[in-house]
Structure formats: C-alpha cells, structure tokens
Amino acid sequence: MSSLRIKLIVMVVLTVGITFIGSLMVFSLAVSSRMASLEDLSLSEQMGDIAAALSWQDGRIAVDVPVSLRRDYRTGAGQFIYIVSDENGRILDSFGSTQHLRPLDISAKGLNDNMQLFSTLRELGGNESKFFAAEKWFTIGPDKWVNIQVGQGPAHEDVLADEILFEMFERNGLLIGGLIASLIGGVIFIVNQLTGSLRQLEKQAITIRPGAQDQKLQVARVPSELVPLVSQINEALRRLNEAYVMQKNYSDMAAHELRSPLAIVRCQAEALADSAEKNMLLDDIGNMEQVLTRLMQLSRSESAMVGAHQSLELGETLGEILSEIGGALIRDGMQLSLTRLPQPVHINADQAMLEVMLRNLLDNAAAAGGAYSTVTISYDATGSVFIADNGPGVPDDKLSKIFDRFVRLSDSTTDGHAGLGLAIVRALADAQNASVSAHHADMGGLEIRLAFSLSAVSQL
Ligand SMILES: Nc1ncnc2c1ncn2[C@@H]1O[C@H](COP(=O)(O)OP(=O)(O)OP(=O)(O)O)[C@@H](O)[C@H]1O
Ligand SMILES: [Mg+2]
C-alpha cells in the first residue's frame, strides 16, 4: 500500500533528475570535446597566418605580418599573442609579449610537423591569466629554423562557448529532440505505473460473478487513497452476494418445502373415487409438481459453476443432442432440421447444459407454433447457434423480457408452464460464458441466438 501522490512526486522527481543529469553529462562531454577542437583549430589557424608572413630574403628571415592581421591583433584586447624567434632564441617579431611563452627547446625542431599545445600564465589586465598556447618549428631558407609561438587568453573561451552553444542548438536538434522524447517517455511511464493498480482492479472486477464465494477486490497493492473506496466496494459486494445467495436459496428451499405437502395432496386425491373432478385435481397437482421441478432446475442452473468446459464440435454435438431429444418432437409432427457447416467449429461448452437449453427452446417452439411447426437449427464459424421457428413470434418490446423468470406472454397458467424455461437457458448460457438473445426469425417466428466462445482448437 502506498500513497498515489507520494508515488507521483517521487517518480516525477526521479525521472526529471535522471534525465537532467544524463543530459548535463552528454552536454558537457560534447561541449568540452568541441571546445578543445575549436581551440586547436583556432591556434593552428593563427599559427598558419603567422607562418605565411615569414620569408627568407637576402640571407635572413623576414617577418611581414599583413596590416589587416596586425589590426586584428590590436583589437584583440591583449587576448592574442604571437612570438617569432630564430633558432638562437632571438625574438624576430612579436605581439602582446616580449618574452617567450615557454622556453625554446631547440631539440624539438625535428617535430616540425606537429603543433605542440601547452598552457601558460600571462599578465592580462593587471592579473595573471591562463593562456592556451601552441608552438611549432618551421624550416626556412637553407637549413634555417624559425619558431612560432601563439597564445590566446581566457576571454576567447567565452566566445568559443557561445559559438559552440549556437552550433549545438543549430545542428544538434536531434539531441534536443531525443531529450524531449525521453522526458515525454518518462511521463508516460509514470502515468502507466500509476494507472497500473487501477487496471489491476479492473481485471479483478471483470471476473466477479454473482454467487461465487469470497469475491472481492485485492487491497494489497492499491494506493492508500483508493483503499477506502475499494473497501466500500468489497463491503457492497459482500452484501449483494449475501442477498443474492439468500434469494437463490429461497426459491430452491420453497420448491423443496412444497414438494412434500404436494405429495400428500396427490395421495389424498388419488384415494378419491373416480370422477371428472378427481381428474382435474390430479392434472392441477401434476402442473404444480412440474412448476416445482422447473424451479429447482432453475436454481441448479444458476449455481452451475463456470468451470473448465469441454471443447465441443458444434455440428457433431448438435447432431447427437437432436437425435436424443428430437425424435419425440418429429413424431408429434415438428419439422426439425439441422444445417451443418463443412468445416468443424469448436466451442467452449458443456454438452449436458447444451442439451437442457435445446430441450427448453424446442419445447417453446412446439408450444408456440403448435405440433406442426418448423424449426431450423444452424450455426456459424464464430460459434453462434441459431434456433428459429415459424410460430407467432414475440413482439419487439417483449424480446428482451422473455428471459426473465415467470414471464409468460400467453394467459394460460394451468398447463404446468411457469415461464422459467428461458430463465434456465440464460442461467446455463452464463455458466458457459455464452450469451443468449432473442430476435425475429426470417420465417416469421422467434429466433434464439446462443453465442459461445470458440475453443482453442478452433482458434488455431
Ligand atoms: N418460440 C417461441 N415463440 C413464441 N413465443 C415464445 C417462444 N419461446 C418463448 N416464448 C414466449 O416466452 C415466454 C417465456 O418462455 P419460457 O420458456 O421462459 O417459459 P414457458 O415456456 O412459458 O414456461 P416453462 O419453460 O417454464 O415451461 C413463453 O411463455 C412464451 O410466451
Ligand atoms: Mg419454456
């Protein structure tokens, strides 16, 4: 259990912190490497400019720095220095310093291909400042060597940094885009983490079914703000379940309780002398017994467990069930047909439950359309079964009501039909995770659709 708010704060701070430190590291690495390369470049350009001003004339080294370059040095506020010396250490020309930036090393003459980088402290505006400098030996004239030292002061770094920042924002849009994307990714991650516990609750809620034991939402990993709400929902679930079980047991118990007195009444009626009244009384008792049996069937169907069902091949199963229960109906005149698909269709269902459902539906069709009614049974590849008849059908506004208990559209209540058959069908459909609905049939009567889920065999 944890607080949603604290979780949110901790995670946002963590994500922003990690992103910030990461980008700072990447940024400073990029800046320092770029800075170094720009400094190198700038020094070598300076070096090249000065070298271009040297020539060998009349047996001596001539230094002829162009006027424009001299002007650049003068406007450099002391930030730029150069010193040209011969191999004896004599300064031939300089700007900004009258002494070497570092002592001349004659033995380094051979390294004339490489510019030697170094740093040195110089006076700048009355203070000692660190200069970034470079030195290089050149050959000039007949085996004569000349040394050039160039340096640049600290203000130059600011200029470079500005240049680098501009360059990075201009060129490295990708890097900045990446940072923004990672920030957005972080936020999405946080929201997902936070809503994860809500999704867990949703998953648990989907599996809650009336009548099952000990059903509640788990409080263990729920944020503390939601705990009171989840506890209230659990309490409401418990009360609803109690009421549901009591109501379900009530009809079952009532049916059981009524069976014994009814059996006594039957015995007494059978002991009467034969008469038309006796027969009517026995018929009524028979109807009442039938209603009690239906009530108990409904009660059993409602408590049927949703468990591991068989995988049934629809064509084969429906064929078996119809050969079991259809004989009597056909003998009574019903035209009953089953249309099978060429390919197998496997559904998750229980054969015994399916048989009870079909028995009820065919009884209804016979009761509604008379003995000579036509009933077609078909199914499709999605696992839906269609039972259609050519009877009088059911009006639009009653189509969804006929599944409720004790709903009968005809007035007669004396024939032992209590209006429980379709309630039993719906309870059994629920028990198999299937759905049931009523529609108008093409042939004019009622069509009942049972939609089962395909079993793994069919989904392969
Ligand atoms: N095929 C049908 N055609 C027309 N009406 C139907 C059809 N099936 C059901 N009904 C109507 O729906 C009502 C409810 O059906 P249900 O099977 O639940 O009860 P019942 O058949 O009257 O009684 P029970 O099934 O308990 O013996 C029926 O009374 C009937 O009015
Ligand atoms: Mg019925």
d(CA 77, CA 158): 14
* Number of the ligand 1 atom closest to the C-alpha atom of 290: 27
Nearest ligand to residue 445 Cα? 1
Q: Which of 62-76, 275-289, 387-401 has the lowest mean pLDDT?
A: 62-76
Binding pocket residue ranges, ligand 1, CB within 6 Å: 294, 360, 364-365, 367-368, 389, 391-394, 402, 407-410, 417-423, 445-446
* Tokens of residue 81, six digits: 């220095």
Q: Which of 61-65, 162-166, 305-309, 447-451 has the lowest mean pLDDT?
A: 305-309
> Average pLDDT for residues 188-204, to the nearest whole number?
81
Ligand 1: distance of its center to the CA of 434 in Å?
20
d(CA 302, CA 296): 10
d(CA 208, CA 32): 61
At 271-296, the pLDDT tens digits run 999 999 999 999 999 989 988 988 88
Residue 81 near residue 72 (C-beta atoms within 8 A): no
- Pick the residue whose CA is nearest to atom 17 on ligand 1: 421
d(CA 137, CA 47): 11
> Average pLDDT for residues 120-144, to the nearest whole number?
85
Residue 120 phi, psi (nearest 5): -150, 155
What single-letter DSSP state applies at residue 76?
T
How does residue 221 score in pLDDT terms, banded at 50, 70 and 90? confident
Tell me what pLDDT residue 217 has.
87
How does residue 88 score in pLDDT terms, banded at 50, 70 and 90? confident
CA atoms within 13 A on the CB side of 321: 23
> Average pLDDT for residues 394-401, to the nearest whole number?
95
Most confident residue range from 111-125, 152-166, 169-183, 322-336: 322-336
Other CB atoms within a 10 A radius of the CB of residue 440 amount to 15
d(CA 83, CA 54): 12
pTM over 0.75: no
Ligand 2: distance of its center to the CA of 257 in Å?
24
Ligand 1: distance of its center to the CA of 419 in Å?
6
- Pick the residue whose CA is nearest to atom 9 on ligand 1: 364
At 317-375, the pLDDT tens digits run 999 999 999 999 999 999 999 999 999 999 999 999 999 999 999 999 999 988 789 99
Ligand 2: distance of its center to the CA of 417 in Å?
7
Ligand 2: distance of its center to the CA of 354 in Å?
15
Q: How far is CA 453 from CA 340, 385, 432, 458, in A?
A: 18, 11, 9, 10
- Residue 1 makes CB contacts below 8 A (sequence gap 6+) with 219, 220, 221, 222, 223, 224, 227
At 303-313, the pLDDT tens digits run 776 666 689 99
User: Which strands, in side-by-side order, build the sheet including 91-95?
Assistant: 91-95, 80-86, 144-152, 127-140, 116-124
Higher-confidence residue of 404 and 7: namely 404
d(CA 83, CA 85): 6
Set out the domains of the chain in order of their start, with CATH numbers.
24-170 (3.30.450), 207-303 (1.10.287), 309-459 (3.30.565.10)
d(CA 107, CA 105): 5
Higher-confidence residue of 157 and 1: namely 157
Ligand 1: distance of its center to the CA of 427 in Å?
15
Higher-confidence residue of 377 and 124: namely 377
DSSP conformation letters of 176-228: HHHHHHHHHHHHHHHHHHHHHHHHHHHHHHHT--TT-TT-----TTS-GGGHH
- Pick the residue whose CA is nearest to atom 1 on ligand 1: 365
- Residue 243 makes CB contacts below 8 A (sequence gap 6+) with none
Predicted confidence (pLDDT) at residue 449 exceeds the cutoff of 90: yes
- Pick the residue whose CA is nearest to atom 10 on ligand 1: 364
- Pick the residue whose CA is nearest to atom 29 on ligand 1: 408
Tell me what pLDDT residue 159 has.
66
Residue 432 near residue 452 (C-beta atoms within 8 A): yes
How does residue 156 score in pLDDT terms, banded at 50, 70 and 90? low
Best of 364, 376, 447 to mutate for ligand 1, by most ligand atoms within 8 A of CB? 364
d(CA 106, CA 147): 9
> Average pLDDT for residues 447-460, to the nearest whole number?
83
Higher-confidence residue of 173 and 356: namely 356
Ligand 2: distance of its center to the CA of 380 in Å?
25
Residue 336 near residue 326 (C-beta atoms within 8 A): yes
- Pick the residue whose CA is nearest to atom 19 on ligand 1: 419
Q: What's the chain's average pLDDT?
A: 86
How does residue 411 score in pLDDT terms, banded at 50, 70 and 90? low
Tell me what pLDDT residue 246 has.
80
Tell me what pLDDT residue 414 has.
53
Tell me what pLDDT residue 307 has.
61
